[in-house]
Copies of this chain bind each other. A is one copy, B any other.
C-alpha cells in the first residue's frame, strides 16, 4: 500500500524531511532521494507508536506533535526516559542490530512521524556524507546531554539536581519555559518523588530564583543564583 502512495507524490514525505534538522542542509535533489525511502506515520494523541519488547529496524523522526518515551516498571510505575519534540528521533541503534525496544513510545500530542528503515538509512549514510555528519552531530549532542544528565543524577541532594536541570533547559537565560512533561514525570526523571520536587520548587520560588506560572511553566528570574546551586 505504501508503494502506490509513494508513486502518487512525495509531498508528505518532503514535508517531513524539510522539518527535520538532520536533513536540513541537503540539496533539493538529495532531499528527494531521502523522501523516497521515508514513510510518514500519523500518531494521534495518546496513541502508542511502539511498545517495549518489539523488534525494530526503523528510525523514527518526529515531524510535528510530541512523543513520550517511557519505561514501564514491574509495579506499573512509568518512568519517562525522554520527550521527543519535532526534529528529535529515536531508534538509532536499529542502524546496527535488530533493536529490541527498551521503552514504550506514545504520542502526547497528535502529529506526524517520519520513519526510515535500517537498510535505507544505512544506504543514505553511505551515499550522502552530509546525512552522516548530521546524524553524528545529533548523536553527539544527545550523548552530551545524556552524560550531563548522568552526572547530575549522581548528586545525592535534590536541590542541586533540580537547579542543574533547570539551568540546562533554560540555557542560563532569564526566560519563562514550558516543562516538557508533567511534574510527577519530571520528578521521576530527576530521581526524586513528586513531593520532593514540589517542595524544592517552592524553596526556589521563595528564594526569588524562579516563579511558577500555571501548571507547566516556570519563569527563571535569577539564573546566576541558579548557577550557584547547580554543580560547578
Q: Which residues of A contact B (CB under 8 A)?
A: 71, 73-74, 79, 81-82, 92-93, 95-96, 122, 125-127, 129, 132-133, 135-137, 139-144, 146-147, 149-151, 153-156, 188-193, 231-232
CA distance A35 to B155 in the complex (A): 41
Q: Report A103 CB to chain B, min CB distance, Å.
A: 9
In the complex with contacts A74-B232, A156-B191, A191-B153, A140-B139 CB distance below 8 A:
yes
The prevalent SS among residues of A at the interface is helix
Identify the closest chain B residue to A138 (Cβ). B139
13 contacts between A and B (CB under 8 A): A73-B231, A73-B232, A79-B151, A92-B136, A92-B140, A95-B136, A96-B136, A125-B136, A126-B133, A132-B132, A136-B139, A143-B146, A154-B191
Q: What CA separation (Å) do A190 and B188 show in the bound complex? A: 17
A147→B232 contact, CB < 8 A:
no
Q: Which residues of B contact A73 (CB under 8 A)?
A: 231-232
- In the complex, how many angstroms separate the beta carbon of A92 from the nearest chain B beta carbon? 5
- The answer to whether A71 and B140 touch (CB under 8 A), given A81-B147, A154-B189, is no
- Closest residue of chain B to A74 (Cβ to Cβ) is B232
Contact among B93, B133, B151, B191 for A155, CB-based, below 8 A: B191
Chain B nearest CB, measured from A84 CB (Å): 13
Q: Which single residue of chain B is at the shortest CB-CB distance from A147? A: B146
Question: A95, B140: Cβ atoms under 8 Å?
Answer: yes
CA distance A112 to B45 in the complex (A): 53
- Most chain-B CB neighbours within 10 Å: which of A135, A151, A188? A151
